[in-house]
Chain A
Amino acid sequence: MKTPDTPPMVTTYSMWNQFRNCRKAAELRYLQHLVPLERDRHLHFGSLIHECLELWHGQRDLARVLDLIDRRCTARAQDEDQKRDWHLATAMMRAYAERYAEEEFEVFALEQVFEGPIVNPATGAASRSFRLAGKVDGIVRTGEEYFILEHKTASQIDSDYLERLWTDFQITLYAHYVEQTLGIPITGILYNVLVKARLQQSRGETEEEFEARRADLLAKSKTGRTTARRREPESDQDFQRRLAEKYADPAMFHRERLYLSREQFDILRAELWELTQAFLDARRRGVFYQNTSFCFNYQRPCPYFALCRSNGNPNVIENFYQRAEPNEELRVLPAGSSEPAF
């Protein structure tokens, strides 16, 4: 319960987006502070590339970027997922450094954090319950114009993907707050999209698999002979070479510049204010209902699906979740930095 002395709750776009999609999930994450015990593997690659890009745009030193990838994937000799991430990130960043050896913009800030009030658009009064904080990947300057730099990794870039950038509520909102809190006039967003190659390193075939394939070929052969040889596993060098060829394709990187209108800011401010009122109402009444349409968004279960299905069984909370402070994304550490040893 909020008292007059309670400081406003610092919120992020992620919280409001989750609240909009499923109130129950927002309550579990932002009021109960629950997160799944197991780390989501899908997020590892995106985080790694963001860190690489921050380092690259800050220092433009490819050797340091590659060293960072090596350090983030130290278990790649035993861990297949890490090995896959290492190969992809190495090839992607090598090609990126070559492709954008010269930039048309000047980096003004990287990993810029902001925090500001959430304002009632009707009265201009700031919310006493919430503030909004966030972090942008970068702010860049082209001539006299400033753009928010937003990195994205994508499986493919098609017309739907590019059209969807216009509906990016988060970045438009961030642009507004960067203007308001840092006093930097933002002209638009520069989306920096990197495509994830779908190539897989060939594992080769086992003796049994080879024998089975050879037997098949012999059965079909009119001469009763075959020149088939056992396929050897693809070496790291060969796979890197294949990835490099793939990343030589200009379509693997894309820059899209979107210009923002002031009307967009007004719509977003009004929507954000509405969300704050709905959240206050839900918190006051203690009712955060599930949106079951979002249980399998992105073709995989929501991180809280097991908990909702068990009707909040504490055994599920204790064995599959842990408590972690919200808004972890606001934590600022320079790219490539390691945790202190002591």
Chain B
Amino acid sequence: MPILPTTKTPPKPSLSDLTVLWYGQTKIGKSQTCAQADGAVFLATEPGLNALEVFQVPILSWEDLLAACAEIGEGKHPFKTVIVDTVDNAYKFCTEYILRKYKVEHESDLAYGKGYAIVNNEFQRVLTKLAFLPYGLYLISHAKEIEVETRTGKYTRIVPTLPEKARKIVLGMVDMVLYCDLDVSAGADGEQIIRRVIRTKPSLYYEAGDRTGRLPETIDLDYRKFLEAFQAAAGAPARPQAGPKQAK
């Protein structure tokens, strides 16, 4: 019997190889969900983890974050998933660091928009380096509503609270954009059923995405169920992502 393979095996990325952005309204349970990840360590840039029993490094400045990342990079620890909670505050620390470094009060004090560019470059440099480490990287952000004007009209969209350019940087480097939301449906008796869910596919009304193509459109906001959905699909061929919306 031949032992050489006749078919290719599908890629089986582990969750600890992926970079994931989790965002949603305050207190919906983002940190609680991420805390259940394998070997989780929080880089806590804002208070709010008090109710959770987790490994955490309090981060009060960009220098703190760089120091923590350097130690994580050395690999002398048991952690497998790095959680930046929140990436919004990490971006603020990055901005403050650049302002101090260049001795200015605001990004716009550096001519020709240079301040904004320096902040974004530094932010992207560190996140990219962190993403290349052999650990899962989870970035947590809050949600906000913005008005988007498209070719077919204006509408309100829910997006992570990062500034626009930083948002584009983060969305461009992550494998998954997971929107934590409340799903309201009617029960058999007509009563409202509200459940907390993760939305994984993009919509005109919120940002989301899953470049692995393995997740169903909606999963309960529960890390175990998220893991089950990801692992169940790992054996099956990846579903291609739905194409972008067609302009009318």
Contacts and interface: CB of A to CB of B under 8 A. Distances in A.
Interface of A: 34-35, 37-39, 41, 306-307, 309-311, 313-325
Nearest to A35: B247
Interface string B223-248: 00000000000000000011111110
Contact of A319 (B171, B173, B247): B171
B22 to A, nearest CB: 14
Q: Which of B150, B172, B176, B210 has the most CB of A within 10 A?
A: B172
B150 A34 contact: no
B149 A318 contact: no
Contact of B244 (A306, A309, A321): A321
A39 B151 contact: yes
B148 A309 contact: no
Contacts of B175: 315
A319 B209 contact: yes
B174 interface: yes
A322 B176 CA distance: 19
B92 interface: no
Interface string B45-89: 000000000000000000000000000000000000000000000
Given A38-B148, A314-B211, A315-B177, A322 B244 contact: yes
B169 interface: yes
B168 interface: yes
A320 B207 CA distance: 9
Interface of B: 148-151, 168-169, 171-177, 202, 207-211, 241-247
Contacts of B210: 315
Instruction: List 5 tightest A-B contacts by C-beta distance, closest first.
Output: A310-B172, A315-B209, A324-B247, A318-B202, A306-B168
Q: Which of B150, B175, B208 has the most CB of A within 10 A?
A: B150
Contacts of B211: 313-315
A39 B148 CA distance: 8
Contact of B241 (A41, A318, A325): A318
Given A35-B247, A314-B241, A315-B177, A320 B171 contact: yes
Nearest to A318: B202
B98 to A, nearest CB: 19
15 contacts: A37-B148, A38-B148, A39-B149, A39-B150, A306-B172, A310-B172, A313-B173, A313-B211, A315-B177, A318-B209, A318-B242, A319-B171, A319-B177, A319-B208, A322-B247
Contacts of B245: 322-323
Contacts of B241: 314, 318
B148 A310 contact: no
Contacts of A317: 244
Contacts of A310: 168, 171-173
Contacts of B208: 319
Nearest to B159: A319
Contacts of A34: 244
Given A306-B172, A309-B168, 14 more contacts: A35-B247, A39-B151, A41-B149, A310-B173, A313-B171, A313-B174, A315-B176, A315-B177, A316-B168, A316-B172, A317-B244, A318-B242, A320-B171, A324-B151
Given A316-B168, A316-B171, A323 B243 contact: yes
A209 B95 CA distance: 28
A301 B177 CA distance: 24
Contact of B172 (A39, A315, A321): A315
Contact of A322 (B149, B150, B173, B207): B150
Contacts of B171: 310, 313, 315-316, 319-320
Nearest to B210: A315
Contacts of B244: 34, 317-318, 321-323
Contact of B150 (A37, A313, A315, A319): A37
Nearest to B247: A324
A314 B207 CA distance: 12
Contacts of A316: 168, 171-172
A313 B202 CA distance: 13
A33 B225 CA distance: 36
Nearest to B245: A322
A316 B208 CA distance: 10
B247 A313 contact: no
A318 B157 CA distance: 14
A320 B208 CA distance: 11
A324 B149 CA distance: 16
Contacts of A321: 244
A319 B243 contact: no
A310 B19 CA distance: 13
Contacts of B150: 37-39, 322
A327 to B, nearest CB: 13
Contacts of B174: 313, 315
Nearest to A319: B207
B150 to A, nearest CB: 6
A323 B172 contact: no
